[in-house]
Amino acid sequence: MRAIIDLGTNTFHLLIAEINKGEIIEFFQKQIPVKIGLGGINEGKITEEAYLRGINALAEFYSIIQSYAISNVLATGTSAIRNAKNGEQFLAEVKSRFGFEVQQISGNREAELIYVGVKKSFQFPKEPLVVMDIGGGSVELIIGIQDTILWKQSFEVGAARLLDIFRPNDPITPAQINAIEEYLLKTFKPFSDALIETRIKYGKCNTLVGSAGSFETLLDVLQVDLKYKHEAVSKFAKAVKMSDASVFYAFILTSTREEREKMQGLLPFRIGMIVVATLLMRHISNNYGFSEIIVSHYALKEGLLLGS
């Protein structure tokens, strides 16, 4: 049994699980909306308030880990922590207080582990596909074909960064949507080029796989608030029609914060960032010729468990 801790920019995740005969057996899972990048992500710092939220969340995780009598802890820090001037100080305090080290992994390693985790959630097709993970600090895009990663890149354009850069109105205006769309087109040019090359070589690459997080919100809002149903691809993944996704995009992008607060399928800590996260989902799904979306409930933490 292992404890896996993912110190994300928006959310800290704890997974207590083991691998039995190649399958993940989960005993406990918890996420805490730390928002460690809030107020300082684009200045490369963890603010005093965010720092304290992070330490308090890890103290709660530590108490849970002790209750399971686990000594094997694997913890990783991603975009906001690896880019913060006081990130090393934060990690040193974590080590001093709780006795475990937090590894700062690169964006490329994060992409690899996300792919490993997502691949465990359902049977990948024989054709190439794209895996997308939307974090607060970064977005990982991976092109792969079954066990092989063909191309990967981590882009520092996560939801918290976009929110801080563009500071959209409530509701977001068409002009702001267009500005973000133009920004993303330029940012994701390397992905566009890699996807073209993949399709030239393999003929097609039409499936977009969304890794947990905001993609799970896509599922939940469609199901709970809009009464749409999804086809189960496996126990840990579901398919979403492109037409259903378009309904979700319009629903979120025309909403006010007050309206989002009333959505039953939207977790409270995602209310502030779901608009820009939706623009990220919509940009990738609509602009690069995908015909289907699969939402995987596995992500980085499962990849850490499997890849360690």
d(CA 305, CA 196): 32
**pLDDT confidence of residue 42:** 81
Q: Which CATH number fits domain 2-104: 3.30.420.40, 3.40.50.300, 3.30.70.260, 3.10.620.30?
A: 3.30.420.40
Domain edges within the chain: 2-104, 119-305
Classify the C-alpha dihedral 192-196-201-202 as positive or negative.
Answer: positive
Please tell me the predicted confidence (pLDDT) of residue 100: 95
Q: Check residue 141 and give its pLDDT.
A: 98
Question: What residue type is assigned to position 28 of the chain?
Answer: F
Query: How high is the pLDDT of residue 224?
Result: 97
pLDDT at 120: 97
Q: What is the pLDDT along the chain (308 residues), one digit of tens a residue?
A: 999 999 998 999 999 999 999 899 999 999 999 999 888 888 889 999 999 999 999 999 999 999 999 999 999 998 888 888 999 999 999 999 999 999 989 999 999 999 999 999 999 999 999 999 999 999 999 999 999 999 999 999 999 999 999 999 999 999 999 999 999 999 999 999 999 999 999 999 999 999 999 999 999 999 999 999 999 999 999 999 999 999 999 999 999 999 999 999 999 999 999 999 999 999 999 999 999 999 999 999 999 999 86
Indicate whether this model's pTM tops 0.85. yes
Residue 82, pLDDT score: 85
- Confirm whether 2-104 and 119-305 share one CATH topology: yes
Q: Which fold has domain 119-305?
A: Nucleotidyltransferase; domain 5 (3.30.420)
